[in-house]
Amino acid sequence: MSDEITLSIVHDTTYRYSTPVERAQHLAAIRPLDCAWQHVISHRLSIDPGPSYEASHVDAFGNEVRYFSFDAPHEHLRVTSETTVVLTRRWDELAASATPAWEQVADALRYRAGGAYMPESEFVFASPNVALAPELREYALPSFAAGTPLVAGAIDLMHRVHADFTYETQATEFDTPALRAFRLRQGVCQDFAQVMIGALRSLGLAARYVSGYLRTVPPEGTPRLVGADASHAWLSVFCPSVGWVDLDPTNDVLADLDHVTLAFGRDYSDVSLLRGIILGGGEHVVEVAVDVTAR
């Protein structure tokens, strides 16, 4: 089993407007991160039509965000991201049952006047899409009996979210709060991740949202469909002894060689891949195609 894989990702998004857009401003968080387990070999972002102004900055979470705007009318917008990354296997040495008790970690993350600052504590609090709710805490507690090792409890919670929730693309919207998805017991990867984030935070643990891509492998004998891969979402939980541990409750796995990391945030609202404000445009149709292939 290889400890490394090289993946190429093409993400193509096209908006077609029924009437011209007079002016527009957009943000794109679409360049994969360089980090300990992921090295970006190449990245190119193409924008059609060419923007009037374009710039990049690094946001508060360490993500590269591209800003671009249009001062001239246009009837379509096509954004194409082409990236090659090398991923390194992460979890072969993870001993979930040997990690600290969850209460110990939650206590260390709690604010104390004059205490040492832990940057991970930024991900303990409520965020725009994720409330700290008693019902989320009650849902989490069966996985976190007294003294349960943090990562073992988080993996058990991931198993339960995967089993208890139905993947349903029509059940939620892009801005559906975690608590609503929790009550529906339905949603997409974004909802699975945000529900689990809310459950962990409700225990005082640090959990962050991860946007990225998932490589899908068709069944044997079935042709691979071009554009059939997907943008994806999962979460990380912080454990002092091992760092951030990435969990994908939609697929009930630790995120590893099939998961390309794009950006980190408190929830989806921090790291939506492409967002903006337009003047005009009327109705619009959006077409998205993603290909993730091994090289």
Total domains, the chain? 2
Residues 259, 159 share a domain? yes
d(CA 133, CA 179): 8
* Closest-CA residue to 264 (of 179, 188, 181, 206): 206
Q: Which residue has the higher pLDDT, 114 or 10?
A: 10
Residues 150, 120 share a domain? yes
The answer to whether residue 140 scores a pLDDT higher than 80 is yes
Quick one: pLDDT at residue 75?
Answer: 95
pLDDT in tens, 203-237: 999 999 999 999 887 667 666 544 457 789 999 99
The answer to whether residue 247 scores a pLDDT higher than 80 is yes
Quick one: pLDDT at residue 18?
Answer: 95
d(CA 264, CA 120): 12
Cβ pair 144, 153 in contact under 8 A: yes
The arithmetic mean of pLDDT across residues 276-285, rounded, is: 93
d(CA 139, CA 153): 12
Quick one: pLDDT at residue 227?
Answer: 41
The answer to whether residue 267 scores a pLDDT higher than 90 is yes
pLDDT in tens, 182-204: 999 999 999 999 999 999 999 99
* Beta-ladder partners of 146: none
Residues 10, 43 share a domain? yes
Residues 114, 257 share a domain? yes
Residues 62, 17 share a domain? yes
Quick one: pLDDT at residue 226?
Answer: 47
Structure tokens at 182: 């929790």
Residues 214, 80 share a domain? no
pLDDT in tens, 143-188: 999 999 999 999 999 999 999 999 998 999 988 999 999 999 999 9
Residues 110, 228 share a domain? yes
Residues 69, 118 share a domain? no
Residues 242, 186 share a domain? yes
Domain that holds residue 71: 4-88+273-294
Using a pLDDT cut of 90, give the percent of the chain over it: 86
pLDDT in tens, 97-120: 999 999 999 999 998 888 888 899
pLDDT in tens, 41-52: 999 999 999 999
